[in-house]
């Protein structure tokens, strides 16, 4: 009887699947969740506020450029682009990611995400304003669900329509 079969079987199992396979899939899932959430609550469509409530924890700590906000403050700030879309005849504000990096927590489905991208405002199907932005997010598990608990965004060059709105906030 050969005692090497269990060892060989275990080695093939270990060698056949990369050690970080499960972690890579979990990080891909975290990235997909993060991207989906950003797209769902970016306030250029009806129902963004429902998605916002699903994505953010009520104990949120946030900053938009330098000012600090709590959950309700950030939600109020995010409502302003929706007003701009309606009042200034913008077709849509869109976020295009140029990079997303996620880091999964050890032991749960939370983690951190860092994203860079371009915010674009469209009128009559044409981009009329753009702004580069960067975002850092902490995602925690709260009552069994992923929630954004920390949100830090920097917009390098805020679009004029948003600059005017945010200056009043």
Question: For the chain, where are the E strands, in sequence order?
Answer: 56-64, 68-69, 92-104, 111-123, 126-142, 145-155
Strands 145-155 and 56-64: parallel
**Structural tokens at position 13:** 């199992």
- 83, containing H or E segment: helix 71-87
Identify the residue whose tokens are 């929706």: 82
Q: What is the mean pLDDT of each run of 10 residues along the chain (169 residues)?
A: 36 39 70 89 75 92 84 81 67 84 92 91 81 92 94 72 54
Question: Distance between CA atoms of 69 and 158, rounded to whole angstroms?
Answer: 18
Contact between residue 121 and residue 42 where contact means Cβ atoms under 8 Å apart:
no
Three-class DSSP category at 54: helix
| Residue 103 confidence (pLDDT) | 94
Pick from 163, 139, 140: which is nearest to 64 by CA? 163
Bridge partner list, 155: 133
| Residue 19 confidence (pLDDT) | 45
Q: Residue 120: how many CA atoms within 13 Å on its side-chain side?
A: 15
| Residue 142 confidence (pLDDT) | 94
Domains of the chain (ranges, CATH numbers): 4-167 (3.10.450.50)
Question: Distance between CA atoms of 50 and 27, rounded to whole angstroms?
Answer: 25
pTM above 0.85, yes or no: no
Q: What are phi and psi of 84, to 5 degrees?
A: -65, -40
Contact between residue 146 and residue 33 where contact means Cβ atoms under 8 Å apart:
yes
| Residue 132 confidence (pLDDT) | 86
Question: Distance between CA atoms of 167 and 164, rounded to whole angstroms?
Answer: 5
């Amino acid at each position: 009887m050969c005692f090497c079969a269990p060892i060989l079987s275990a080695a093939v199992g270990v060698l056949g699947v990369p050690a970080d396979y499960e972690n890579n899939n979990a990080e891909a899932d975290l990235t997909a969740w993060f991207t989906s959430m950003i797209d769902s609550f970016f306030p250029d469509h009806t129902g963004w506020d429902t998605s916002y409530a699903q994505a953010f924890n009520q104990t949120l700590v946030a900053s938009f450029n330098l000012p600090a906000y709590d959950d309700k403050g950030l939600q109020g700030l995010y409502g302003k682009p929706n007003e701009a879309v309606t009042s200034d005849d913008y077709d849509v504000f869109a976020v295009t990611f140029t990079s997303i990096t996620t880091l999964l927590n050890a032991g749960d489905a939370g983690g951190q995400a860092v994203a860079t991208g371009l915010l674009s405002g469209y009128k009559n199907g044409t981009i009329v304003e753009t702004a580069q932005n960067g975002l850092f997010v902490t995602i925690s598990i709260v009552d069994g669900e992923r929630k954004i608990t920390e949100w830090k965004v920097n917009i390098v060059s805020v679009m004029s329509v948003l600059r005017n709105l945010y200056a009043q906030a």
